[in-house]
C-alpha cells in the first residue's frame, strides 16, 4: 500500500513537471502597432471613457505575446483583402493589478475575470476588437464595446440581419486564425494556445 502511494505520488510529481515545462516562463510582450503601423487601436482603459470611469492604463499602446500579435495581423490582412474591412483593437495585454481593480468595481464573472483565476488578457493572449471600414468607421455590432447586457452575447439573435452578418464576419475570421470567441462578449477572443503563457503583472508603458 505504501509502495502504491509512493508510486502514485512520484507519477503525480513527474506529470506536474511535464505539464509546467510546456509553459513559456518569461514571454516577451510586443507592441502590435510597432509590428504593423496600419493597425487601428482605441484603448478605452487609457481614458476615463470605460465602464469603470477611471484611467486604468498609463499608456494607449497594445501588447500581446508575439504569436498572438502575428495572428491578429493575419486577421487584419485577411479582412482587408476579402471584405475591404479592418480591425480596431480596444484591449490586449492587461496587467494583473489592473484586473484586480476591475474586479473590485465589477465583480461579475460573466464580464470580468476573477483575478484569482486571472484573465487571458493577463497572459497577453486575449484581444477585444471590432470591425471598421477602410476609413476607420466602426461597423454596427448591435451594442457598444463593454456593454454588459444580454445583447452582447454571441447567441443573442434578436438583431438586424446586418448586425448579425457583421458579427458573423468577425467571429468566423477570428476562428480561422486560431481565436476562440467569448459567449457573453462579441468583442472578446482568446487565443487557442493561451495555456502556454503565464499570468503577468508587468506594467504597460
Residues that bind Zn ion (CB under 5 A): 128, 188
- The Cα–Cα gap between 165 and 159 comes to 10
Q: How far is the CB of 19 from Zn ion (least distance, A)?
A: 26
Q: How far is the CB of 15 from Zn ion (least distance, A)?
A: 31
Q: How far is the CB of 165 from Zn ion (least distance, A)?
A: 22
| Cβ closest to Zn ion, residue 80 vs residue 118 | 118
- The Cα–Cα gap between 185 and 34 comes to 27
Residue whose Cβ sits closest to Zn ion: 188
| Cβ closest to Zn ion, residue 35 vs residue 180 | 180
Q: How far is the CB of 57 from Zn ion (least distance, A)?
A: 14
| Cβ closest to Zn ion, residue 44 vs residue 188 | 188
- The Cα–Cα gap between 100 and 202 comes to 14
- Strands 188-191 vs 85-91: parallel, antiparallel or unpaired: unpaired
- The Cα–Cα gap between 193 and 205 comes to 25
Which residues are bridge partners to 132 per DSSP?
86, 138
Q: Say if CB 130 and CB 145 are below 8 A apart.
A: yes
| Cβ closest to Zn ion, residue 8 vs residue 149 | 149
Q: Say if CB 63 and CB 91 are below 8 A apart.
A: no
Residue 57 CA neighbour count, 13 Å, CB half: 25
Q: Which residue pairs from 167-170 have beta carbons closer than 8 angstroms and sit at least 24 positions apart in sequence?
A: 167/141, 167/142, 169/79, 169/83, 169/85, 169/131, 170/129, 170/130, 170/131, 170/141
Q: How far is the CB of 185 from Zn ion (least distance, A)?
A: 6
| Cβ closest to Zn ion, residue 80 vs residue 132 | 132
| Cβ closest to Zn ion, residue 80 vs residue 142 | 142
Q: How far is the CB of 13 from Zn ion (least distance, A)?
A: 35
Amino acid at each position: 500500500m505504501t509502495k502504491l502511494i509512493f508510486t502514485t505520488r512520484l507519477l503525480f510529481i513527474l506529470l506536474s513537471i511535464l505539464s509546467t515545462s510546456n509553459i513559456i516562463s518569461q514571454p516577451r510582450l510586443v507592441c502590435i502597432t510597432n509590428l504593423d503601423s496600419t493597425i487601428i487601436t482605441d484603448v478605452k482603459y487609457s481614458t476615463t471613457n470605460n465602464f469603470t470611469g477611471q484611467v486604468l492604463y498609463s499608456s494607449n499602446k497594445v501588447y500581446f505575446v508575439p504569436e498572438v500579435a502575428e495572428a491578429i495581423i493575419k486577421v487584419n490582412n485577411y479582412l482587408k483583402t476579402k471584405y475591404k474591412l479592418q480591425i480596431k483593437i480596444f484591449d490586449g495585454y492587461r496587467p494583473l493589478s489592473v484586473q484586480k481593480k476591475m474586479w473590485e468595481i465589477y465583480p461579475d464573472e460573466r464580464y470580468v475575470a476573477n483575478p484569482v483565476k486571472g484573465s487571458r488578457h493577463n497572459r497577453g493572449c486575449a484581444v477585444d476588437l471590432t470591425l471598421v471600414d477602410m476609413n476607420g468607421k466602426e461597423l454596427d455590432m448591435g451594442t457598444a464595446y463593454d456593454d454588459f447586457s444580454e445583447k452582447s452575447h454571441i447567441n443573442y439573435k434578436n438583431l438586424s440581419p446586418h448586425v448579425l452578418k457583421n458579427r458573423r464576419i468577425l467571429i468566423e475570421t477570428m476562428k480561422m486564425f486560431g481565436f476562440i470567441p467569448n459567449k457573453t462578449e462579441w468583442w472578446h477572443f482568446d487565443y487557442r494556445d493561451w495555456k502556454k503563457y503565464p499570468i503577468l503583472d508587468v506594467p504597460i508603458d
